[in-house]
Structure 1
Amino acid sequence: MYKTPHNICKTSLFLFKTSSSISLHFQISVSSMAAAGGKSRSKGNLFVLCLSLAVFIRSAGASWEDHRYNVGDPVPFFVNKVGPLNNPSETYWYYDLPFCRPDQVIKKESSLGEVLNGDRLTNARYKLNFREDKDSESICKKTLSKEEITKFRDAIKKDYYYQMYYDDLPLWGFVGKAEESMETINETEPRYYLFNHIQFNVIFNQNQVIEISAFSDPSYVVNVTDNAETEVEFMYSVLWGGTPVHFGNRMDKYLKSSLLPHHLELHWFSIINSVVIVVLLVGFLVTTFFRTIKNDMIKYSQKDRQEDKEEVGWKNVHGDVFRYPPYKSLLCGVLGSGIQLLILVLFIFVLAFMGAFYPHNRGAVFSSLFIVYALTSVVAGYTSSSLHTQWGGMLPIKNMLLTLFLFPGPLFVIFSVLNTIAIIHNATAALPFGTILLILLVWILVAFPLLIAGHILGRSTTNEFQAPCATKRIPSDIPPLSWYRRTIPQMFLAGFLPFSGILIELRYILTSLWGHKIYTIYSILFILFIILIIVTMFLSITLTYFQLAAEDYKWWWRSVLCGGSTSFFVYGYCCYFYAKSQMTGLLQFSFFFGYNACICYAFFLMLGTVAFCTSLRFVRHIYRAIKSE
């Protein structure tokens, strides 16, 4: 039994299920990579794969046995990074500022996700033993040189914050403060003060740490306004207190703060706004569009009427509508990559609902994206190869290479430029050579072989494309089109309507991606994603029909461009978001626009694929339903 392109999604999901027997219980680190596999007892399905990856991710987080302490036991404490508050991508190693270093600086071994997240955990001189109070404990005394004073002053000017981790719990604080007083009225700049005393408040339940917070004591400051050597003593205090909160609920604090209850109504308003737009759009188009197409099909099916013998409109192009598009290899690569990215997004939602991405689980999202993308390469290979074979495509190797590099290629080019900029700035966002080599090895040893396997399977199990209508030898001429029926106006309409449905929520998403907020309302995000898919599908059907009604049968690429056009509006909003933000500097500018371009490109491929699959199914349906000559 032959397979047609509109069945590719179902077949691709089946292939993805069969790949779930691959063991995911392996840990990828900067210094080493180990893989362990085992035979699965079950037949393997999507749920098992999601569960395995969720367990793998959660295993890197908090657990009961790893976080039990006796009184006086040392508790893991790491300093991470510093950076300007308004530039979240611009972070530096904690000891790039002249804080007190331990006698031997030891960097904690980081997972791949932590490195991609820009985390560089290092030991510190702070000793916060379990349930031991301390009062003004001295870390060190040092004389700050003029250069060190300048570093601290510049950091305070830019509102530098620091991040630390205590028992896998994050805490933050500011490096210093700028103050304007009566003494500085006639001065051009305020005075800058360095905080040299931190108050740690730790809350415990029996033998486990539940919560920690850090406060900079405003009465302990050092004036760093002038370039003069200054003696400073860094100190800290620790105060312990009990709580009935269970260890398993200790992350609820970050979860509740991320939800922002007073903003939650706005999120639901965004959902209501999107639903109203969808209902109005669908209601309007259903009453006009489906009535029109129903009348057309009734008219074209009645052959006994003399006035209907001459074919017009979309019926007139039945001999050209299934003519294969130009650049078939490229289109197949787009569709293969789009299906892969669509499965990737759905997989991430499943993991989010399973609780894999609890707040401040360092690098969990990046690790998941990397692993799932590599494993779903088999789907991209199969989809692209299957369509390429059905459409009679030549040069299968070219098709395979296009599929292989279509998304990772531009991503790698942009990454190379951004990583070079990060290296020049000595930022933690710069990936070490070992991490880059590790990513390339996983891509070569895992993603590439899986894509080849899918490619071979697609060519060997796919038969010839079966069109409902025969294709003419000579292409028909396309009549002149009105301006509103051309590609650009249709792309504008197809992109604007879905974009208007996600506009409100898009602000919160960008604030989470490029700020210090945590987005955890995955249910709302998933609903909006489904609405986006539905609107894209419906608009694709509508625009394809009106294109065929104008006797323009070149709908293949048009459907992809119209479906993916929402990404251009999203990128335009990103530009607006940056202009309204307080982000500055070349590093933050390049990271913001570079990686947002990658995200929007992924959405273009994904939504373009959704639109194409919908249009193909629709076109096959209407031409199968009529009585063609």
Structure 2
Amino acid sequence: MSLVFLRVWLLLAPVAAFYLPGVAPHEYLDNEKVNKLSSTKTQLPYDYYSLPFCRPAEVVNKMENLGEVLHGSVIKNSAYDISMGKIEFRVLCKRTLEPAEATLLHTRIRQDYRVHMIMDNLPAATKMIRELPDGQTIVMYDRGYPLGFVGSAERQGSVPGGAYLHNHLRFVLKYHKDAAFDGARIVGFEVEPLSVKHKYKGAWSDDASQLQLLTLPVGHDSPPLRADRKRCGARGGLRVRREATGPVVYTYDVKWEPSDVKWASRWDLYLYMGDDQIHWFSIINSLAIVLLLTGIVAMIMMRTLRRDVSRYNSPEDKDDLAEATGPSPAPPAACSPTLLFVFSCYHPSSSSGGLLTATLLTFMLMGVPAGYCASHTYKALKGTEWKLVTVLTATLYPGAIAATLKCLIGQQSSGAIPFGTMVVLLLMWFGVSAWYMVGAFNVLMGGILPFGAIFIELFFIMTSVWLQRFYYVFGFLALVLLILIITCAEISIVLCYFQLCNEDYNWWWRAFLTSGSSGLYLFGYSIMYFHSQLEIDGFVPTLMYFTYMAVFSTLFFLVTGTIGFYSCQKFVWAIYAAIKVD
């Protein structure tokens, strides 16, 4: 059988992919990629080659889009070489650790960093066996593989508390063959990391056939074997100590397994989300809230409001009506193109950062209607500093985000945005309004229902972002977002009507803050999530987490507040337009 030659690329970041049924698969392999080191304890991604690993003759950066830079997922090539269908064991290289390198490795291992690879747009994964409540077992994938492990009494061959480096990788590549095409298609990419304290006899050689290795890796739960298949002893793992020097031998082997999984179904194990009953329960609960609010709004419009209008004996003229309500601007549509893009065609196997790039471009283009609506609405409310409002709309929110990125730059994280990229982002703008609080109790009460509509789905989204899990239930997300929009509109209308009944005509900021206050609950939820679900260590990672959640909560506040404001504006215009004017 002819061999198709593979060159393996290394990259250390979560990988997303764009996948549409019918896209032509590859019957040959050409470039495995790896992107970055990531950790659930520090949340700071680092470049793969920031650690003492084997490098190819020339390290080539492959930046595909702006989203990859923002995500810290710049692809780089690696020294791994794999041949299609060929089972082999290879020596990658030998590195002599300097004290600083050993200390860095020791720290990263204790911080639970993981390495992420991709091959044929499939991310490397470690296999997990999960038992279901009915007693059945299923196979699931966890993205990437751990950089190392901390020894414990339960792990054979390790010293409790010691840091061990995974210096041997066992690639298990699954392929599918069919009479409909020539060659084979890759449908699985598993990695089994091992820690082996290699020993060899004679002179060192990078050629495994010439190097007389005295150890052979057999598994992470067992000590390595000598070449004569006898145990090497209980201390077979490669332990990394702080400020210690010594050689590290990196090796890998490749195993090919035939599979009945077709190319179109190869992502199923990655995207398995478990039981979806909790999603349906959340949606049904939110729909009950929507129906209740809809009934209240209908009662106001059909009974109370009709009676109030009929008893209204002192109508204002149309000029005063326009002065009170302002003209009707275009509805908020900045999120629509991005959401349409997500729900129609997003898939985790697309080019890394593609969705983020499309989102940023969408927001940049939507800056034009954002500035127009902001200044137009401000002038309609008799504001005089409309130019200042336009400038703040374009600069306030992105300026606040740019200020928070300094901590990442100071930590030399690959997730930090380079200066050139920051210049590009400065050209993009978002809708921003000032913060002005009136009627704090009503405002806080108004944010409970919109947040309640999304908090179940929010848990899965945050788990995907902060614990590096896949999220692929966009159908549920679309329903939840629709419920959120309806809830924000209706709760703002109800409270706005009660405010007008109390002869308080300053409804605009109250309407904005009523639904927008759900962003405050979102940030409060992020605090609870931090203490209950995450194990983040260190001041800078903690600061980064809360900074990002504050940025996201602010954006959520702006989006939900805008929905509430425009809904109330339409409502006020409708009820006052029904009043007869003499």
* TM-score, normalisation: structure 1: 0.71
| Aligned-partner Cα distance in 1 for 2:115–2:50 | 11
Amino acid at match of 1:268: W
Kindly indicate whether the alpha-carbon contact (under 8 Å) linking 1:84 and 1:159 is maintained by their aligned counterparts in 2: yes
Identify if the C-alpha distance between structure 1 residues 400 and 60 changes in structure 2 by more than 3 Å, giving closer, same or farther.
farther
Which residue pairs with 1:622 in the alignment? 575
Identify if the C-alpha distance between structure 1 residues 252 and 435 changes in structure 2 by more than 3 Å, giving closer, same or farther.
same
Instruction: Find the residue that maps to 1:343 and give its secondary structure.
Output: coil
| 1:550 aligned residue (499, 502, 510) | 502
| 2:88 aligned residue (106, 112, 134) | 134
| 1:540 aligned residue (492, 505, 510) | 492
| 1:368 aligned residue (358, 362, 368) | 358
Does residue 115 (structure 1) correspond to residue 69 (structure 2)? The answer is yes
TM-superposed deviation, 1:158: 1.4
| Aligned-partner Cα distance in 1 for 2:351–2:556 | 25
Kindly indicate whether the alpha-carbon contact (under 8 Å) linking 1:536 and 1:607 is maintained by their aligned counterparts in 2: yes
Q: Tell me the C-alpha RMSD between the 2 structures.
A: 3.4
Does residue 78 (structure 1) correspond to residue 33 (structure 2)? The answer is yes
| Aligned-partner Cα distance in 1 for 2:18–2:404 | 33
TM-superposed deviation, 1:289: 7.7
TM-superposed deviation, 1:395: 5.6
Which residue pairs with 1:238 in the alignment? 254
| 2:413 aligned residue (427, 432, 436) | 427
TM-superposed deviation, 1:193: 1.8
Does residue 412 (structure 1) correspond to residue 410 (structure 2)? The answer is no
| Aligned-partner Cα distance in 2 for 1:527–1:103 | 51
| Aligned-partner Cα distance in 2 for 1:603–1:181 | 46
Question: Map of 1:208-219 to 2, 5 A cutoff?
Answer: 208-217=185-194, 218=220, 219=223
Identify if the C-alpha distance between structure 1 residues 127 and 278 changes in structure 2 by more than 3 Å, giving closer, same or farther.
same
| Aligned-partner Cα distance in 2 for 1:276–1:429 | 41
Kindly indicate whether the alpha-carbon contact (under 8 Å) linking 1:61 and 1:361 is maintained by their aligned counterparts in 2: no
Kindly indicate whether the alpha-carbon contact (under 8 Å) linking 1:316 and 1:551 is maintained by their aligned counterparts in 2: no
| Aligned-partner Cα distance in 2 for 1:625–1:61 | 52
Which residue pairs with 2:129 in the alignment? none
| Aligned-partner Cα distance in 2 for 1:374–1:343 | 13
Post-superposition CA distance 1:239-298 (Å, at most 9, x none): 11223444344333323x2xx122x11111111111122223444565578533333234
Amino acid at match of 2:85: R
TM-superposed deviation, 1:428: 0.6
| Aligned-partner Cα distance in 2 for 1:180–1:489 | 52
| Aligned-partner Cα distance in 2 for 1:551–1:388 | 22
Which residue pairs with 2:481 in the alignment? 529
- Please identify which structure carries the higher strand content: 2
Question: Map of 1:432-447 to 2, 5 A cutoff?
Answer: 432-440=418-426, 443=428
Which residue pairs with 2:342 in the alignment? 352
| Aligned-partner Cα distance in 2 for 1:566–1:317 | 37
| Aligned-partner Cα distance in 1 for 2:390–2:88 | 63
Instruction: Find the residue that maps to 1:429 and give its secondary structure.
Output: coil
Kindly indicate whether the alpha-carbon contact (under 8 Å) linking 2:19 and 2:345 is maintained by their aligned counterparts in 1: no
Amino acid at match of 2:53: F
Identify if the C-alpha distance between structure 1 residues 376 and 235 changes in structure 2 by more than 3 Å, giving closer, same or farther.
same
Structure 1: gaps spanning 5 or more residues: 1-56, 304-310, 452-484
Kindly indicate whether the alpha-carbon contact (under 8 Å) linking 1:317 and 1:553 is maintained by their aligned counterparts in 2: no
Identify if the C-alpha distance between structure 1 residues 358 and 150 changes in structure 2 by more than 3 Å, giving closer, same or farther.
closer
Aligned residues: 494
| Aligned-partner Cα distance in 2 for 1:62–1:412 | 42
| Aligned-partner Cα distance in 2 for 1:622–1:344 | 27
| Aligned-partner Cα distance in 2 for 1:109–1:504 | 35
Does residue 64 (structure 1) correspond to residue 29 (structure 2)? The answer is no
Post-superposition CA distance 1:48-98 (Å, at most 9, x none): xxxxxxxxx959999637x342xxxx73123321132333x3111112121
Identify if the C-alpha distance between structure 1 residues 344 and 320 changes in structure 2 by more than 3 Å, giving closer, same or farther.
closer
Amino acid at match of 2:419: F
| 1:92 aligned residue (26, 42, 46) | 46
Does residue 400 (structure 1) correspond to residue 390 (structure 2)? The answer is yes
| 2:369 aligned residue (379, 404, 407) | 379
| Aligned-partner Cα distance in 2 for 1:163–1:539 | 44
| Aligned-partner Cα distance in 1 for 2:508–2:293 | 24
Does residue 203 (structure 1) correspond to residue 174 (structure 2)? The answer is yes
Amino acid at match of 1:81: K
TM-superposed deviation, 1:565: 1.4
Post-superposition CA distance 1:326-385 (Å, at most 9, x none): xx9xx99xx88xx5xx52322222112222333464112211111111222232244335
Amino acid at match of 1:223: R
Instruction: Find the residue that maps to 2:62 and give its secondary structure.
Output: coil
Kindly indicate whether the alpha-carbon contact (under 8 Å) linking 1:92 and 1:427 is maintained by their aligned counterparts in 2: yes
Post-superposition CA distance 1:394-431 (Å, at most 9, x none): 565434323322xxx3323333332x211221111112
| 1:261 aligned residue (257, 271, 274) | 274
Question: Map of 1:452-467 to 2, 5 A cutoff?
Answer: none
TM-superposed deviation, 1:157: 1.4
| Aligned-partner Cα distance in 2 for 1:226–1:118 | 27
Instruction: Find the residue that maps to 2:173 and give its secondary structure.
Output: strand
Amino acid at match of 2:30: V
| Aligned-partner Cα distance in 2 for 1:283–1:127 | 65
Instruction: Find the residue that maps to 2:333 and give its secondary structure.
Output: helix
Kindly indicate whether the alpha-carbon contact (under 8 Å) linking 1:411 and 1:598 is maintained by their aligned counterparts in 2: no
Amino acid at match of 1:211: G
Identify if the C-alpha distance between structure 1 residues 593 and 62 changes in structure 2 by more than 3 Å, giving closer, same or farther.
farther
Identify if the C-alpha distance between structure 1 residues 439 and 499 changes in structure 2 by more than 3 Å, giving closer, same or farther.
closer
Which residue pairs with 2:564 in the alignment? 611
| 1:105 aligned residue (42, 55, 59) | 59
Identify if the C-alpha distance between structure 1 residues 375 and 96 changes in structure 2 by more than 3 Å, giving closer, same or farther.
same
| Aligned-partner Cα distance in 2 for 1:61–1:81 | 28
Which residue pairs with 2:290 in the alignment? 278
Post-superposition CA distance 1:437-476 (Å, at most 9, x none): 3434x54xxx79xx9xxxxxxxxxxxxxxxxxxxxxxxxx
Question: Map of 1:311-330 to 2, 5 A cutoff?
Answer: 323=323
Does residue 519 (structure 1) correspond to residue 505 (structure 2)? The answer is no
TM-superposed deviation, 1:236: 0.5
Does residue 154 (structure 1) correspond to residue 107 (structure 2)? The answer is yes
| Aligned-partner Cα distance in 2 for 1:362–1:86 | 23
Which residue pairs with 2:163 in the alignment? 192
Kindly indicate whether the alpha-carbon contact (under 8 Å) linking 2:80 and 2:92 is maintained by their aligned counterparts in 1: yes
Question: Map of 1:458-537 to 2, 5 A cutoff?
Answer: 487-537=439-489
- Please identify which structure carries the higher helix content: 1
| 2:309 aligned residue (297, 306, 311) | 297
TM-superposed deviation, 1:392: 5.9
Post-superposition CA distance 1:179-235 (Å, at most 9, x none): 223999xx9x62222222111011223333222110113145312247543333211
| Aligned-partner Cα distance in 2 for 1:554–1:396 | 19
TM-superposed deviation, 1:168: 2.3
TM-superposed deviation, 1:127: 0.6
TM-superposed deviation, 1:597: 2.1
